[in-house]
Amino acid sequence: MKTKQPKKMGRPTKFTAVDKEQLKTLVLHGFTDKEIAKFFGFTEQTLNNWKRGHPDFFESLKDWKSKADQKVVRALYLRAIGYKHPEEVFFQYKGEVIRVKTTKRYPPDTAACFIWAKNRMSREWKDKQEVEHSGEIKGPTIYLPKQDKKNG
- Length of the chain, please? 152
Q: Give the pLDDT score at 5.
A: 62
pLDDT digits (tens, 9 = 90+) for 20-33: 899 999 999 999 99
With 80 as the cut, is the pLDDT of residue 72 above it?
A: yes
Question: Are 88 and 101 contacting, i.e. CB atoms less than 8 angstroms apart?
Answer: yes
**Chain-centre distance for alpha carbon 10:** 35
Q: Give the pLDDT score at 10.
A: 61
Q: CA 112, CA 40: separation in Å to the nearest integer?
A: 34
Report the first-to-last Cα separation within the chain, whole angstroms.
96
Q: Average pLDDT, stretch 128-152?
A: 73
Q: Give the pLDDT score at 8.
A: 60
With 80 as the cut, is the pLDDT of residue 1 above it?
A: no
Q: Give the pLDDT score at 63.
A: 95
